[in-house]
Amino acid sequence: MSGGWLTGPAGDVMVMLGLLLGSAFFSGAETAAVSANRARLEALADQGRVDARRALTLIGRMSRTLATVLVGTNLCNVGLTSFVTAVAVNVAPENGPALATIALTPIVLLFGEVLPKAFFRSRPTRILRASAATLGVADAALTPLVWLAHGTTNLLLRLARIPAEQARPAFRRDDLEMAFLFGERSARAESFEAREESETIRMAGRALVLAERTVREVMAPVPRDRMLPEDSTVGIARDRFRAVHGRFLVGVDRNFGIVGFVATKALLDLPETDPTPWQSAWTLDPDAPLDSVIQGFRRNQQSIATVRDRDGRTLGIVTAEDVFEEVVGELTAVAAAATGSPAAGPPAVGGDRRPKRPRPRN
């Protein structure tokens, strides 16, 4: 044969490029599948995006998807190696295998592994959506081989007495805490440009230990200037808002028990003589963990809660901003005043507020 092994030089090059592109696609798709943002895909799927639904299907059966991309990668690599070796032997019978190995190793490593993985990892969610249809076709075409590979793997795992499908977290809690600790130290050691990254790591570490903090540590007494009698009118509440420039007011009964809260937006378009529309207070136990408080705020659609002991005595209040501070750090006095934080108010009413313990350093 003169010029080419199968279809001439141009045909040989096209076949090799096709196999190399196939290897790159499957290699990158593996990275995209494990790195894609599932929450983002679910949001897009709820909006009716078909590509997001396909991507979610692939992620939902991750073991099969990984088997598909691994089978596809190996088929392309083996096919490319065999084809290039055959072409090289046709050109140089004695040194063909050696030449094929020397030429293919850096090409497959760079263009079939490193570059596609880096590219797919740069925008995994978007790329997985774009490639989901192609992966679905590949999954259907490679079904016999995927079943064979998957079944063989499960059989070997059973023989080794290893559960084939066992949901385990990728990282334990201690692993994450240690990662945040060393990540923050590493970022501190860098130049000025790393400060923002250090703060992000620090906030993530604080969020991780919210379950170890209690309501008692962040609750605050109710400032006197934010209290109004429960029978106050909308006009009186508006005047008080203008005076204190806060975000909420607290309605109290004759015994200074909290009956509810009202936000500024709740008074819009209401007549001055109407009674103040107090919102019922959500009650918290002082020893409740802070992570459950966040879930409670979302479940009750409220950003303020009353803290009471077992005897029903009011100890103080907790706002979403108080919990937020535990993650992002202390707010300035100006920010506290703007959000109506009790920290910026005058002497307050409300019981046994204990001093906060120092935050654990991450």
Residue range 287-316, pLDDT digits in tens? 888 777 877 777 777 778 888 888 878 888
Residue 361 has what pLDDT?
A: 41
62 and 200 assigned to the same domain = no
Q: Which residue segment(s) compose the domain that 17 sits in?
A: 8-159
Crossing angle of helices 195-208/173-189, nearest 10°?
A: 160
152 and 223 assigned to the same domain = no
Q: Give the other-Cβ count within 10 Å of 99's Cβ.
A: 17
52 and 114 assigned to the same domain = yes
The helix or strand, by DSSP H or E, that contains position 327, with its residue range, turns out to be helix 320-328
* C-alpha separations of 155 from 71, 260, 266 in Å: 18, 62, 63
Residue range 219-236, pLDDT digits in tens? 888 778 888 898 899 899
- Of 17-21, 56-60, 276-280, give the lowest mean pLDDT range: 276-280
* Domains in the chain, number: 3
148 and 13 assigned to the same domain = yes
Residue 223 lies in a domain: yes
Compare 190 and 158 and report the one with higher pLDDT: 158
49 and 120 assigned to the same domain = yes
137 and 68 assigned to the same domain = yes
Judged on CB neighbours under 10 Å (0-12, 13-18, 19+), 320 is: middle
Share of the chain above pLDDT 70, in %: 74
113 and 180 assigned to the same domain = no
Confidence check: pLDDT of 246 > 90: no
Residue 360 lies in a domain: no
In the chain, % helix, strand, coil (3-state, to 5) comes to 65, 10, 25
Confidence of residue 191 (pLDDT cuts 50, 70, 90): very low
Residue 127 has what pLDDT?
A: 92
Confidence of residue 169 (pLDDT cuts 50, 70, 90): low
192 and 136 assigned to the same domain = no
Most confident of 85-89, 130-134, 260-264: 130-134
Residue 281 lies in a domain: yes
Confidence check: pLDDT of 115 > 70: yes
Residue 2 has what pLDDT?
A: 43
What phi, psi does 284 have (nearest 5°)? Answer: -120, 150
Say which amino acid occupies 313.
R
Say which amino acid occupies 319.
T
Name the E strands within 194-351: 222-223, 227-229, 248-252, 258-263, 282-284, 304-308, 314-319, 348-349
Confidence of residue 199 (pLDDT cuts 50, 70, 90): low
CA 207 to CA 201: how far, in whole Å? 10
22 and 149 assigned to the same domain = yes
100 and 229 assigned to the same domain = no
Output the domain CATH number for residue 245: 3.10.580.10
Residue 3 lies in a domain: no
Residue 351 has what pLDDT?
A: 45
What phi, psi does 308 have (nearest 5°)? Answer: -130, 145
Residue 132 lies in a domain: yes
What number is the average pLDDT over the span 32-61? Answer: 88
What number is the average pLDDT over the span 13-25? Answer: 89
Structure tokens at 238: 């508006």
239 and 336 assigned to the same domain = yes
203 and 333 assigned to the same domain = no
Residue 165 lies in a domain: no
Shortest CA distance to 349 belongs to which of 228, 235, 218? 228
| Chain centroid offset of residue 20 CA | 34
Residue 90 has what pLDDT?
A: 81
Residue 356 lies in a domain: no
Residue 43 has what pLDDT?
A: 86
**Would strands 258-263 and 282-284 be described as parallel, antiparallel, or unpaired?**
unpaired
Instruction: Share the mean pLDDT of the chain.
Output: 76
Q: Which residues contact 108 (CB under 8 A, 6 or more apart)?
A: 20, 23, 77, 80
Confidence check: pLDDT of 344 > 80: no
Residue 361 lies in a domain: no
What number is the average pLDDT over the span 313-329? Answer: 76
